[in-house]
Chains A and B, each alone.
Chain A
Amino acid sequence: MKAPPFAYARARNLAEVFELLERHGDNAKILAGGQSLMPALNMRLSSPELLIDISRLQEHAGVQVKDGHVHIGALTTHAAIGESADLRKHLPLLADAVEHIAHPAIRNCGTFGGSLAMADPAAEWPACCVVLDAQIMLASKSGTRRVAAQDFFQGLYATALQPNEVITEVVIPIPGAGYRHAFLELARRRGDYAIVGVAAMAKISGTSISDLRLVYLGASEKPVPALETSQLFVLKGFSESALKEAQQTLAGELDPAADLYSSVATKLHLAQVLTARVMKQLAA
């Protein structure tokens, strides 16, 4: 179908964005990369009065490394994240996750900030941000505040973002020496929405694991850190018996919704399978 009628404003700076948000509130939608918003409009799932196009505010795109942190501009595209040598070096988890995001033509437009604001439960970036302890910078007319990724995602497509705010940047601490990471996802076809996935990192020295973080996507309404499961591996290590026990614990920590193709039982089983694979990868 075609999008319903709307008005359009191309913002030249953030001040214009704030002013338009102030005036139109919930009736306005921010257009960043458009790779989720435009399908929603074309399918008439959404009918805003106004689109505020922020895609030309390129001062909010790009990756910078400062004081032990990586700063990712909200308008950085998925493709640019995949191509960034700084991210490959400091946060390889993100570079690994890019391969699972849709297809090349979509990665050229879709943005990091847009994906976070959308908060799709099957999306890769929200889970990565939670596992990496990211801080999300939200700007409005009255200033900027930072929200931890863990608190930013509140439910199904629901975030801490207020109607007068936009995401400007994400700040991620660079993990110290000895940290390993892994990102795994299962989808029906390459680039499709994840059935279930996991973003993981841990500090490994010899056979001991510490600070293990397993965050699942597609396994609830928002990214889920499996805290008890992680703790169990930290206490008991990588053994087969620990894995069996952890898989049982995991089933109690996730709350996936059935969809057209996968039942709750299938999703839980697949999450357990991914857990075995991701732990193997971390240990390798």
Chain B
Amino acid sequence: MDTIIETTLTINGESVTRRIPVRQNLVDFLREEIGLTGTHIGCEHGVCGACTVRVDGKIVRGCLMLAVQADGRNVETIEGLSDSGEIADLQDAFHKRNALQCGFCTPGMLLTVQDLALQNPQATREQIREHISGNYCRCTGYQAIVDAVETTLIARNSKA
């Protein structure tokens, strides 16, 4: 029944403890308290997907989760996935295929397509489109994004 709660969570492998106002959502906490501004905030009601982060290995809407709900959980952001090299090939493909222009949707888009790549490495173009249906991009028209994801999946599968 508190309005501020001491919360301990793991962010990109590092344990963090903070006193967090309960009404603060996870993205605002990451951006404003922790200084990780790679996760973007767009619509604030779960439609645009710009705030996508990974919690305990699953992608979630960062704007629809309270930061205090992440207590004891493992949160991964675009900074974590980027620094670890986990999605280096995807990022490279996005660059080569012009799968971004303004870049606002890109962190959420990368988290979402990596989620697909882990679950369904053989995904078809239709399945790629389905998986990113909750991530809005207003620049590319999606074609280049689907190209970049498809290219990466094919390259990963030929290595595996």
Interface set of A (CB-CB < 8 Å, partner B): 1-10, 20, 34-35, 38-39, 42-43, 50-51, 53, 55, 79, 102-106, 108-109, 189-191
Contact = CB atoms under 8 A, between A and B. Distances in A.
Contact-size category for B: 20 to 34
A105 B45 contact: no
B69 A35 contact: no
B68 interface: yes
Interface in B105-133: 112, 115-116, 129-131, 133
Nearest to B66: A8
Contacts of A38: 25, 45-46, 63-66
Interface of B: prevailing SS: mixed
A104 B131 contact: yes
A115 to B, nearest CB: 14
B61 A1 contact: no
A10 B130 CA distance: 34
A24 to B, nearest CB: 9
B49 A42 contact: no
B158 interface: no
Contacts of A5: 3, 23
Interface of B: 1-3, 5, 22-23, 25, 28, 44-46, 49, 52, 58-61, 63-66, 68-69, 71, 112, 115-116, 129-131, 133-135
Given A55-B69, A103-B49, A105-B49, A7 B3 contact: yes
B23 A105 contact: no
Nearest to B131: A104
A106 B134 contact: yes
B64 A109 contact: yes
Nearest to A108: B58
Nearest to B61: A105
Contacts of B115: 104
A190 B61 contact: no
A103 B64 CA distance: 13
Contacts of A34: 64-66, 69
Contact of A109 (B23, B44, B65, B68): B65
A109 B65 CA distance: 9
Contact of A8 (B44, B63, B68, B116): B68
A221 to B, nearest CB: 23
A54 to B, nearest CB: 11
17 contacts: A2-B23, A6-B23, A7-B2, A8-B2, A8-B68, A9-B2, A34-B65, A39-B45, A42-B45, A42-B63, A50-B1, A103-B49, A104-B116, A105-B134, A108-B58, A190-B130, A190-B133
A103 B129 CA distance: 11
Contacts of B116: 104
B44 A35 contact: no
B58 to A, nearest CB: 4
A4 to B, nearest CB: 7
Contacts of A103: 49, 133-135
B112 A104 contact: yes
B23 A35 contact: no
B59 A104 contact: yes
A3 B23 CA distance: 6
Contacts of B52: 105
Nearest to B44: A42
A38 B28 CA distance: 14
